[in-house]
Amino acid sequence: MSENNPVNTPFPRLKLTVTQVFGECYHGYKIGDEILLEDFTHAPKHFCLGLAHALFPVIYALSFGAKFGFRDNQRSLLVTCPDGGKLEFKAEILDKNGNLDVIPRDPNHKGPNPKKMVIEVVKAKGKCSFGYKVGDKWETQGLKCIPGFCGAAFHTAFPALFALNFGAKFFFMKDPDSIDTVTCPDGGNIIFKVTRVEENK
């Protein structure tokens, strides 16, 4: 989509800027190159899917208001190419006028402040090879993996965990500190709710 034909979306546009180049990129990106995304669900044509995989939790979090207090602009984050670290990108949010959303570094930031979060099964259909059922719950702190938890399910839940850990709010949910549409990729048999139970301090 071009600027003259924007997508119909409630989510903000994003800008990626190449900040470092450490090897040869198949896409030929150079320092200073900029890539615009109409929102976190609409990547440009021929966008690198390896980058999209690593980038998605970041742009998802930023789109729902996450802040990274250690950054000069809390509404930005650096992401490294997963293919040998060939490139580094800076992800930023654009407002409705196309200007950068900027919140200066938090002077009171004192390092990681991992949030307590809960993953809960809220719907179940068909067969789950892990035997998950409605009401099952798991707690985690920050971005820690849950021992023995289904890897495919954790992969699907990770963007929500990442976003909530950095203060995102899901404005369309009854409880904006949670999201209850995290769906198992194996036939959609299990749907999880991810909740931040410890608010940002």
pLDDT at 41: 94
**Residue 52, SS3?**
helix
Residue 2 confidence class, pLDDT cut points 50, 70, 90: very low
Q: What percent of the chain has pLDDT over 90?
A: 86
pLDDT for the residue 201: 46
Q: Exposed/middle/buried for 3, CB within 10 Å: 0-12, 13-18, 19+? A: exposed
Model pLDDT for residues 50-76, shown as the tens digit of each residue? 999 999 999 999 999 999 999 999 999
SS3 of residue 192 by DSSP: strand
pLDDT of 199 reads 64
Identify each DSSP E strand in the chain by its residue range: 13-21, 34-37, 76-80, 87-94, 116-124, 137-141, 178-183, 190-196
CA atoms within a 13 Å half-sphere pointing along the CA-CB vector of 80:
7
pLDDT digits (tens, 9 = 90+) for 3-56: 445 678 899 999 999 999 999 988 999 999 999 999 999 999 999 999 999 999
Q: What is the mean pLDDT of residues 152-178?
A: 97
pLDDT reported for residue 108:
92
Contact in structure between 61 and 27 (CB atoms under 8 Å): no
Per-residue pLDDT at 85: 94
- Provide the residue count of the chain: 201
Three-class SS state of 50: helix
pLDDT at res. 8: 84
pTM of the model: 0.92
- Which pLDDT score is estimated for 135? 97
Question: How confident is the prediction for the chain on average, in pLDDT?
Answer: 93
Residue 30's pLDDT is 94
